Structure 1
């Protein structure tokens, strides 16, 4: 009997120890052994993530990723993909963390861990001033004749479908395509995070675009695998220290209040990228 009890105790100790070891540092171990931090992003969501004139990633989240890599003394690899693939990439251990202006939602939180928020925004409409100025609330766009374009898989799509179920909601592959539809007047408005809408309106002043007040509360956070408690704790403390030292405030000031960074964007006719890249 004693042997049976002892064997059972040893079994649970070994199993529990194995699980704890697997969950306490597997991601951090991978990063340190490879000497590389792999960050997933979309590259289609200024001011958080976008490519510059030379095709290099830049933005609020990209700077955040660089600061993480520097703090860990490792190299940084940026992996761009649609937002719909970011979560599966985390689950498959293809990336270590996702930074892409990602809204924290209960549904997404069932798949990945979120740390944050490091920024709070809301969903707004972007369109011609003559159209957006008439939208005072959801009822003004909740009709079949009102076309709202969204990037597929974003919270913009979720909010548009929830707030205006009767509207003609058009889901496209990315923000570039969505914005082009507004410029080409194939949709009356685009729904997205307010900072993105403000950037595009500012950059395309000749188009006489306007941005509505936010309709929602949108906390943005870092999406991470749930398999490594140490990695989750490290990122949480990293963001806490950034906030305490004022560096997070500096990032927000540059990317969300100072338009000078827009000079680094490709020269285009109202789009995110050069025509040759479309």
Structure 2
């Protein structure tokens, strides 16, 4: 519940976001009651493996290591890595090597592909894992880190929500981040249902409507790898 615009816990305790709207549509279509469980990101796949949850819908990138443990359906959204910073020098860096030195400190969500990316390509930088994105943004705001490495939807949300605080977002096409729905690997009927469900939402334009609601004037098709390569 701490990854706006995908998931966010309000002061009232209610959880909202693009992923929550999608989960509500799933439950309504299946005719079941939706129960939302908020937990740290690194606990999501273990919770799915143990049966504590039936589905993980939390801005989760489909990658090979996760896919060895659970099944994925999607992507329902394509993304890539981006940096959020308040420093012009970092904002104008045009390749990772310019950030790869000990003076660069970067916040990343613990257990995420952003942490993997940072430790793999920015080996000389100081990588600072955080428990949620709100904590990472606070570190950037207070100058305790130079930037936060995250996924494109998160960067969009931060710059919109903190428009007067001088945050700058750098979008990178160095990574392809397909965002999918994680499911138990031993339930082929459920996997097939989810494939058909997401395909239907895409074809009738509901996925685009959700993206517009939560991320503004953004076109999902333009976020696909083929479209980005043509820019």
Q: Name the TM-score, length of structure 2 as normaliser.
A: 0.90
Give, in angstroms, the shift of residue 71 of structure 1: 0.5
- State the secondary structure of the residue aligned to 2:13: coil
Please tell me whether the aligned partners of residues 87 and 146 of structure 2 are also in contact (alpha carbons under 8 angstroms). no
Q: Which residue of 2 aligns with 1:73?
A: 31
Which residues of structure 1 form unaligned runs of 5+?
1-42, 260-278
Q: Which residue of 1 aligns with 2:112?
A: 154
- State the secondary structure of the residue aligned to 1:96: coil
Q: Which residue of 1 aligns with 2:139?
A: 181
Give, in angstroms, the shift of residue 93 of structure 1: 0.7
- Structure number with greater Rg is 1
Counterpart among 229, 245, 264 of residue 188 in structure 2: 229
**Following superposition, which runs of at least 4 residues in structure 1 exceed 6 angstroms of deviation?**
none
Q: Which residue of 1 aligns with 2:228?
A: none
Q: Which residue of 2 aligns with 1:219?
A: 178
Residues in 2 aligned to 1:235 and 1:123: alpha-carbon distance in whole angstroms: 26
Residues in 1 aligned to 2:159 and 2:199: alpha-carbon distance in whole angstroms: 32
Q: Name the TM-score, length of structure 1 as normaliser.
A: 0.75
Q: Pairwise mapping of residues 103-252 of structure 1 onto structure 2 (< 5 A)?
A: 103-214=61-172, 215-252=174-211
Residues in 2 aligned to 1:98 and 1:133: alpha-carbon distance in whole angstroms: 33
Which residues of structure 2 form unaligned runs of 5+?
219-231
Counterpart among 3, 14, 30 of residue 56 in structure 1: 14
Residues in 1 aligned to 2:140 and 2:22: alpha-carbon distance in whole angstroms: 31
Please tell me whether the aligned partners of residues 124 and 191 of structure 1 are also in contact (alpha carbons under 8 angstroms). yes
Which structure is higher in RCO with an 8 Å CA cutoff and minimum separation 6?
Answer: 2
Residues in 2 aligned to 1:98 and 1:229: alpha-carbon distance in whole angstroms: 16
Say how many residue pairs are matched: 217
Please tell me whether the aligned partners of residues 138 and 164 of structure 1 are also in contact (alpha carbons under 8 angstroms). yes
Deviations, residues 151-185 of structure 1 (Å, cap 9, x unaligned): 11011111111121111111122212111111110
Q: Greater share of helix residues, 1 or 2?
A: 1
Please tell me whether the aligned partners of residues 122 and 193 of structure 1 are also in contact (alpha carbons under 8 angstroms). yes
